[in-house]
Amino acid sequence: MSRRGPCMSLVVHITGARPNFPKAAPVIDAIARLGGGEVRQRLVHTGQHYDEKMSDVFFRQLGLPEPDVNLGVGSGTHAAQTAAVMVGLENLFLEERPDVVVVYGDVNSTVAAALVAAKLQIPLAHVEAGLRSFDPTMPEEVNRLVTDRLSDVLLCTSADAVAHLGNEGVAPERIHLVGNPMIDTLLAHLDAFDVDAARAAHQLEGRYAVATLHRPANVDAGPDAQALVATLHAAADQVQVVLPLHPRGRATLEEAGLFKHPGILVCDPLGYVEFLGLVRGADVVITDSGGVQEETTVLGVPCLTLRPNTERPVTITHGTNRLVTREDLPRQVGIALAADRSTHKVPPLWDGQAGPRIAEVLVGAYA
Ligand code: UD1
Ligand code: UDP
C-alpha cells in the first residue's frame, strides 16, 4: 500500500482470524476506489490465525493485499492473546497515528484493537456492529459488547443490530445500516464456487451434507465432543457428511471417535472458494459458524445451526437457518433431506454493495 503524503488520511484495518478476511476485503477495495489519492490504508494481521488454511489461502483467493504488519501473536488464553494484540497495536498506533481504525466482527483481535484505539483516542469503526446473542457464556458476545461500547462509527449488517444499539443508548447518528460485506465477497466469487469440482475433490456421489463446527460449547469438553460425534454419526447414517475440521476441535473430536463412521469424510479446513463450492452443492449444512449461517442464507442451502441461540436472527426470519439441539439434529437432517428447497428471502442490503456503503461513511467522515 502507498506511503502517506502530507495531507493523506490513514485508515488502519485490523484482521486476525478466518472470518475477518472476507469481511475486510470489500471494505479495503471500496475505500481504495472512493478515497483515491486522498486515503492511505494499512492492513494489520494480528496472527491470531496462522495456519496456511486458516489465513494465507484467504489472502490469495480474495485478492487481499499482503498485510503491512503481522503481529504474529498466535494462540493463547483469552487474556494472553488479547494482551499480545494490544501491546503490538499500541506500538503501531503510537507510531502511525491513524485517522481511523476499522475492526471486524467479534474475535479477540477485534476487541483488543478497540481497547487500544479508544485509550489512544483514535476514532474507531466497527464493521458488523450491534449483533447480539444475549448469551454471556460466548466470548464473542463479550467482545461485541465491549467493541460496540467503544466504537465511534457502528456499521450494521441488519435492522435488528441497529435496534440493539438504539436500545443500548448509542446515538442514532453514529449507527449506519450498510448491509453485509461478507456477502459482497460471496457474490463477487459466486462464479468460482464449482460444485462439480467439489464433488470430484471429495469423491462424492449422490446427496451430501457439509459440517463445520468449532464453538467451545460443542468441541472443547470431552462430554460435549462425544455428544457431538454421536449426533454427527446419526446424521451420517442418512447422508454422507463432509467435515472440513477447524483446528480447535481436532483433538477432542478425534478422541471422541469422529473418524470412525465411514459416512463422515473429515478433511483439513478448506480454502474459501473450495469450501463455498462444496456448500453450494450440499443438501444441508450443519454448523455453529456465524458466517456460514449468513452464506447459506444467500445461497439458499438449508442450514442447521447447532447452537441454542444466534446473533444473526435474519438468517432464520429471511434465510434458510434453523437452530437445532444435538438431540434433534438427526431428525432435522431427515426433514431437510425430504423437504423441497424452501423459498427464502435475502435480507435487505445483502446485495454486494456493503463495501461501497462503508467506504462512503468512512471516507466522508475521516478523509
Ligand atoms: C476464533 C474466534 C471465534 C471465531 C473463530 C473463527 C475468539 C475468542 N474466537 O475462535 O469467534 O468464530 O476464531 O474460526 O476470538 N489453531 C490452530 N491454527 C490456527 C488457529 C488456531 O491450530 O491457525 C488452534 C489452536 O490450538 C488454538 C485454537 O485453534 O488454541 C483456537 O484458536 P483461537 O484463535 O483462540 O480461537 P478459535 O476457536 O479459532
Ligand atoms: N470457511 C472456509 N473454509 C472452511 C470453513 C469456513 O473458507 O473450511 C469460511 C466460511 O465460508 C466463512 C468463514 O470461513 O466465510 C467463516 O469463518 P468461521 O466459521 O471460522 O468463523 P465464524 O463466522 O464462526 O466467526
Residue range 165-171: mean pLDDT, rounded: 98
108 belongs to a structural domain? yes
- Say if CB 65 and CB 1 are below 8 A apart: yes
Query: What would the pLDDT profile of 236-258 be if each residue is shown by its tens digit?
Result: 999 999 999 999 999 999 999 99
Nearest atom of ligand 2 to the alpha carbon of 244: 8
Percent of the chain with pLDDT over 70: 98
Instruction: List the one residue out of 186, 191, 192, 245 whose CA is nearest residue 23.
Output: 186
**CA pair distance 90, 86, nearest whole angstrom:** 6
In tens, the pLDDT along 142-161 reads 999 999 999 999 999 999 99
- Confirm whether 344 is domain-assigned: no
Asked whether residue 288 is domain-assigned, the answer is yes
Read off the C-alpha cell for 41: 490504508
CB-based contacts of 99, cutoff 8 Å, min separation 6: 9, 10, 11, 122, 123, 366, 367
Do 88 and 124 belong to one domain?
A: yes
Q: Is the pTM of this model over 0.95?
A: yes
Domains contained in the chain, number:
2
Residues 61 and 164 in one domain: yes
Residues 283, 221 within the same domain: yes
Q: Is residue 186 part of a domain?
A: no
pLDDT tens profile 26-53 = 999 999 999 888 899 999 999 999 999 9
Q: In terms of domains, do 23 and 138 share one?
A: yes
319 domain-assigned? yes
CATH of the domain at 289: 3.40.50.2000
* Smallest CA separation from ligand 1 atom 36, residue: 248
Domain that holds residue 160: 9-180+351-366
- Closest ligand 1 atom to residue 215 Cα is 38
343 lies in a domain?
Answer: no
Which residue's CA lies nearest to atom 12 of ligand 2?
291
Q: Is 212 in the pocket of ligand 2 (CB under 6 A)?
A: yes
User: 61 and 154 share a domain?
Assistant: yes
DSSP 246: -
271 Cα nearest atom in ligand 2: 7
Cα–Cα dist 360/284, whole Å = 37
Bridging pattern class, strands 100-104 and 69-70: unpaired
Same domain, 62 and 159: yes
Partnered with residue 155 across adjacent β-strands are 127, 176
Residue owning the nearest CA to atom 9 of ligand 1: 107
Within 10 A of 140 (CB to CB), how many other CB atoms are there?
19
The residues that bridge with 240 in the sheet, in sequence order, are 208
Are 332 and 358 part of one and the same domain?
no
Same domain, 120 and 164: yes
126/228 Cα distance (integer angstroms): 33
Same domain, 92 and 222: no
Same domain, 30 and 54: yes
Pocket of ligand 1 from Cβ distances under 6 Å: 17-19, 48-51, 54, 75, 81, 106-108, 139-140, 214, 246-248
The set of cell numbers assigned to 290 is 456465524
Ramachandran quadrant class, 135 (left: phi over 0; alpha: psi -120 to 50; beta: rest): beta
With cell 446424521, the residue in question is 235
Strand 124-127 and strand 153-156: pairing?
parallel
Q: Catalytic site residue 13?
A: no
3-class state of residue 47 by DSSP: coil
Burial class (CB in 10 A: 0-12, 13-18, 19+), 92: buried
Indicate the top mutation candidate among 103, 289, 301 to test ligand 2's pocket, ranked by most ligand atoms within 8 A of CB. Answer: 289
Query: pLDDT value at position 37?
Result: 80
Q: Decide if 117 contacts 30 (C-beta within 8 A).
A: no
**pLDDT tens per residue, range 211-223:** 999 999 999 999 9
Residue 228 near residue 326 (C-beta atoms within 8 A): yes
Selecting among 214, 233, 261, 318, the annotated active-site residue is 214
Return the percentage of the chain with pLDDT > 90, whole number: 95
SS3 label, residue 299: helix
Name the burial class of residue 173, with classes exposed (0-12), middle (13-18) and buried (19+) by CB atoms within 10 angstroms of its CB.
Answer: exposed
